[in-house]
Amino acid sequence: MADSNDKGCWVGFDLGGTKMLATVFDSAFRAVARKRRRTRGQLGKPPRISRIVQTIRQALDQSEIGSGRLRGIGVGCPGPLDLDKGIVLDAPNLGWKKVKLADAIKKEFACPVVVLNDVDAGVYGENRFGAAQKARCVIGVFPGTGVGGGCVYDGKILRGTTSSCMEIGHVQVLPNGPRCGCGLIGCLEAVASRLAISAAAAQAAYRGQAPHLLELAGTDISKIRSGVLAASVAAGDAAIEQILQRAGAWIGVAVATAVHLLAPDVVVLGGGLVEAMPKLFVTAVTESARAHVLPSFASTFEVKVAELGDDAVVMGAAGWAQTVVESQSNSR
């Protein structure tokens, strides 16, 4: 339960992935309550806003903080967004198109609501509370089903006029490479996402080059997830380790491009793959990035593993909501 003398609370909400998470933070950004639920309802139906509202209310009830002390809500959400209006333009994983998310939540809680890209929220969280504290510029790269990216510069999330940016997963790293799911050729996502890694690993298992992986998961890509890949490497499947190192090297190529453009102090790596094999990815990305930048940039940045885990998005979303709300208040 939060101190009754505090200055109110903030809520961070993570709408990405298969589960949604609402977390209530006190004025010092200590988590005082959280509620996690499946993102989709029964039979895999798209989530209703009422489900999101209910999850936030349950977290508030658990915290014993009344909604009258709620100063703002930050929502990290996947998909193209209209950031100024808080509209989810198109989120295939959620089954949403042109959903006025901020207005709907604001109507229920009568407080400011800020909607932002979930990866941007995670990177902001790491910059303010996690692995990249005090960095002037931090770039985040999160390999998963795709490859997400974000950037915080001088305490502000780097963004377009109305939309998020930093789509590092669609930087071309291999001009004659495979076609990406977006339709372009040779994107980072096409060669370094977990899906791309799992596909290459399944081929290695089928060819007899990864006997431990074959025993653990066969050649079913859906079963070749981060933990299985880590176990395969630990058991001695050299071919799988090489596939992962190659993916890390491609991430390093994309990071080098970002270093030339933005000169980050810190590059944060996150997501399930990195959490399962942090040393492998930090080493591969660092060596590749430094090999592909101008010599004057080679020692200017550090590659780190994200520290906040599942809390990165909710902490970042709530923290960014505070930044936006207080900035607007000070400008009046």
* Tens digit of each residue's pLDDT (9 = 90 or more) over 212-259: 999 999 999 999 999 999 999 999 999 999 999 999 999 999 999 999
The one-letter amino acid at 331: S
Q: Please give the residue range of the domain that contains residue 216.
A: 131-305
| Whether 111 and 217 share a structural domain | no
Whether 23 has a pLDDT exceeding 80, the answer reads yes
Count how many domains the chain has. Answer: 2
Give the least confident one: 2-6, 103-107, 140-144, 168-172.
2-6
pLDDT of residue 4: 42
pTM for the whole thing?
Answer: 0.93
Q: In three state form, how does the secondary structure of 113-133 look? A: EEEEEHHHHHHHHHHHHCCCC
Does any domain span residue 194?
yes
| Whether 91 and 167 share a structural domain | no
Which residue has tokens 């399930």? 272
pLDDT of residue 327: 86
pLDDT of residue 44: 55
| Whether 277 and 324 share a structural domain | no
Does any domain span residue 240?
yes
Residue 327: how many CB atoms within 10 A of its CB?
A: 10
Share of the chain above pLDDT 70, in %: 95
Measured CA to CA, the distance from residue 277 to residue 225 in angstroms comes to 12
Does any domain span residue 261?
yes
Question: Residue 24 — pLDDT band, cuts 50, 70, 90?
Answer: very high
Q: If residue 23 lies in a helix (H) or strand (E), which one and from where to where?
A: strand 19-25
CATH number at residue 278: 3.30.420.40
Chain centroid, CA 52 distance in Å: 19
Chain centroid, CA 299 distance in Å: 26
Share of the chain above pLDDT 90, in %: 83
Burial 8-37 (b: 16+ CB within 10 A, else e): ebbbbbbbbbeebbbbbbbbebebbbbbeb
pLDDT of residue 90: 87
Determine if residue 30 is left, alpha or beta; phi over 0 gives left, psi from -120 to 50 gives alpha, anything else beta.
beta
Whether 141 has a pLDDT exceeding 70, the answer reads yes
pLDDT of residue 1: 42
Alpha helices in the chain (DSSP H): 49-63, 101-109, 118-129, 188-192, 194-206, 211-217, 226-234, 238-262, 272-276, 278-291, 311-331
Does any domain span residue 3?
no
| Whether 158 and 286 share a structural domain | yes
Angle between the 194-206 and 226-234 helix axes, to the nearest 10 degrees?
50
Q: What is the DSSP letter of 296?
A: G
Whether 123 has a pLDDT exceeding 70, the answer reads yes
pLDDT of residue 263: 98
Does any domain span residue 24?
yes
| Whether 217 and 289 share a structural domain | yes
Does any domain span residue 325?
yes
What does the DSSP assignment read for 239-283?
HHHHHHHHHHHHHHHHHHHHHHHH--SEEEE-SHHHHHSHHHHHH
The one-letter amino acid at 203: Q
| Whether 206 and 228 share a structural domain | yes
| Whether 162 and 250 share a structural domain | yes
| Whether 28 and 174 share a structural domain | no
The one-letter amino acid at 263: A
Does any domain span residue 25?
yes
Measured CA to CA, the distance from residue 73 to residue 84 in angstroms comes to 15
The answer to whether 282 and 245 are in contact (CB under 8 A) is: no
Strand 70-77 versus strand 81-82 pairing type: unpaired
pLDDT of residue 2: 42
Whether 329 has a pLDDT exceeding 80, the answer reads no
Name the more confident of 270 and 328: 270
Question: Residue 18 — pLDDT band, cuts 50, 70, 90?
Answer: confident
| Whether 155 and 301 share a structural domain | yes
pLDDT of residue 91: 83
| Whether 76 and 144 share a structural domain | no
| Whether 176 and 242 share a structural domain | yes
The answer to whether 297 and 263 are in contact (CB under 8 A) is: yes
The one-letter amino acid at 11: V
Does any domain span residue 2?
no
By C-alpha distance, which of 272, 270, 294 is closest to 282? 270
The answer to whether 131 and 122 are in contact (CB under 8 A) is: no
pLDDT of residue 38: 86
Residue 94: how many CB atoms within 10 A of its CB?
A: 19
Measured CA to CA, the distance from residue 320 to residue 326 in angstroms comes to 10
| Whether 76 and 194 share a structural domain | no
